[in-house]
Structure 1
Amino acid sequence: MAPAAANRWLRPEVYPLFAAVGAAVGICGFQLIRNICINPEVRVNKASRVAGVLENFSEGEKYAEHSLRKFVRGRSPEIMPSLNSFFSNPSN
């Protein structure tokens, strides 16, 4: 019975589906680990939970303004800016 199930689900047509689901699970796992490890509002151990609500704005700003956000801040929100400018400005 096991080989029939393997032949049903492990066809080459299903590989893109496995890749898409694997990428989605990877992104969710990354965000979960990021929030547990460095989010200033999440406290896992009991000693830091005793502190209650902290007004630590500098740590929250450091978490929100991460390096990827700083990298894309001044950039155009386009995937291919040179290709878009080529087709939108035919005179150049």
Structure 2
Amino acid sequence: MASSRWIRPEVYPLFAAVGVAVGICGMQLVRNISTNPEVRVTKENRTAGILDNHAEGERYAEHGLRKFVRNKAPQIMPSINGFFSDPKY
């Protein structure tokens, strides 16, 4: 049967990785449709044309994740990087 061929314990990590990727894509799609100032779904908003709404664009661009990582070090594991690159150790 096809189910016994594809659904094995070795394939579960692949299913998980693809599921996470699809979830991230879906989350970004919903975020763009619902909050992006350049996307207009309703007919009333589409007839407005080009709007100069810089405050709304700034609010969309400066989301919570960007505010959280703004003052963080751009490293995944700073302590390990410091251990191998800093001559103090």
- TM-score, normalised to structure 2, is 0.94
Does residue 39 of the first structure (1) align with residue 31 of the second (2)? no
User: What is aligned with 1:61?
Assistant: 58
Does residue 50 of the first structure (1) align with residue 54 of the second (2)? no
Give the whole-Å Cα distance in 2 for the aligned partners of 1:17 and 1:49.
41
Does residue 91 of the first structure (1) align with residue 68 of the second (2)? no
User: What is aligned with 2:2?
Assistant: 5
Give the whole-Å Cα distance in 2 for the aligned partners of 1:59 and 1:37.
13
Give the whole-Å Cα distance in 2 for the aligned partners of 1:39 and 1:91.
47
Q: Secondary structure at the match of 2:75?
A: coil
Partner amino acid, structure 2, of 1:73: R
Does residue 74 of the first structure (1) align with residue 71 of the second (2)? yes
Q: CA RMSD in A?
A: 1.0
- TM-score, normalised to structure 1, is 0.91
Structure 1's consecutive aligned runs of 4 or more residues displaced over 6 angstroms after TM superposition are none
Does residue 17 of the first structure (1) align with residue 14 of the second (2)? yes
Residues 37-67 of structure 1 show CA distances to partners (whole Å, capped at 9, x for unaligned) of: 0000111111111111101001001100111
Q: CA deviation at 1:72?
A: 0.7
Residues 2-25 of structure 1 show CA distances to partners (whole Å, capped at 9, x for unaligned) of: xx1110010111111111111110
Structure 1 residue runs without a partner (length 5+): none
Q: How many residues align?
A: 89
Structure 2 residue runs without a partner (length 5+): none
Q: CA deviation at 1:90?
A: 4.1
